[in-house]
Amino acid sequence: MKNCATTETEKVLACLSNADPIFWINPQCLENDRVPEDLGFDLTDVLEAEARLGRFAPVLAALFPELESAGGIIESDLAVAHGFRKQMSAEVSACFQGHLLIKCDHALPVAGSIKARGGIYAVLCFAEQLALANGLLDLSLKDFTPLLSSRARSVFARYTLSVASTGNLGLSVGIMGAGLGFSVNVFMSTEAKEWKKTRLRDRGVRVIEDGSDFTAACISAREEAAADNRTHFIDDENSTQLFMGYSVAALRLKRQLIDLGYNIGPESPLFLYLPCGVGGGAGGITFGSKMVFGEHVHCFLAEPVQAPCVTLGMITGKHSNISVYDIGLTLDTDADGLAVSRPSTFVGQLMSSLASGGYTMTDKAMYDYLIDAWQSEEIEIEPSAAAGFDGPVRLLQSDEGIRYLQKKGLADKMDQAVHVVWTTGGSFVPASEHALYRKKALTDKPKK
Give the interface with ligand PLP as residue ranges (CB under 6 A).
Answer: 113-115, 168, 275-282, 337-338, 382, 384-385, 424-425
* Pick 102 or 152: Cβ nearer ligand PLP: 102
For residues 316 and 297, the answer to whether their CB atoms sit within 8 Å is no
- For 16, counting Cβ atoms within 10 Å of its Cβ (0-12 exposed, 13-18 middle, 19+ buried), the class is buried
Q: How far apart are CA 145 and CA 3, in angstroms?
A: 64
Assign 42 to helix, strand or coil: coil
What is the nearest approach in angstroms of ligand PLP to the Cβ of residue 344?
Answer: 7
Three-state DSSP state, 207: strand
Residue 8: CB atoms within 10 Å: 13
Q: Which is nearer to ligand PLP, 101 or 366 (CB)?
A: 366
Closer CB to ligand PLP, residue 256 or residue 311?
A: 311
d(CA 237, CA 344): 4
CB of residue 437 to ligand PLP, shortest distance in Å = 13
In the complex, least distance from residue 239 CB atom to ligand PLP, rounded to whole angstroms:
10
**Under DSSP, is residue 161 helix (H, G, I), strand (E, B) or coil?**
strand
Q: Parallel, antiparallel, or unpaired: how do β-strands 78-80 and 99-104 relate?
A: antiparallel
Closest contact distance (angstroms) between CB of 82 and ligand PLP is: 24
| Alpha helix (H) residue ranges in 278-429 | 280-293, 309-316, 345-354, 363-377, 391-397, 399-407
Judge contact between 369 and 44, C-beta under 8 A.
no
In angstroms, give the least distance from the CB of 301 to ligand PLP. Answer: 8
Phi, psi for 164 (deg, rounded to 5): -110, 145
In whole angstroms, the minimum distance from the beta carbon of 282 to ligand PLP comes to 5
Q: How far is CA 124 from CA 17, 116, 161, in A?
A: 40, 12, 11
**Nearest distance from C-beta of residue 242 to ligand PLP, angstroms:** 7
d(CA 303, CA 341): 11
Of 269 and 383, the one with the shorter C-beta distance to ligand PLP is 383
* Between 78 and 370, CB nearer to ligand PLP: 370
Question: What letter would DSSP give residue 416?
Answer: G
Smaller CB separation from ligand PLP, 156 or 384 = 384
Give the separation between CA 256 and CA 252, rounded to whole angstroms.
6
Which of 276, 312 has the CB closer to ligand PLP?
A: 276
Residue nearest to ligand PLP (CB): 277
Residue 270 beta carbon to ligand PLP: minimum distance, rounded to whole angstroms: 20
Nearest residue (CB) to ligand PLP, 147 versus 338: 338
User: Least distance from C-beta 16 to ligand PLP, angstroms?
Assistant: 18
In degrees and rounded to multiples of 5, residue 241 shows phi and psi of -70, -45
Select 52 or 106, whichever has its Cβ closest to ligand PLP: 106
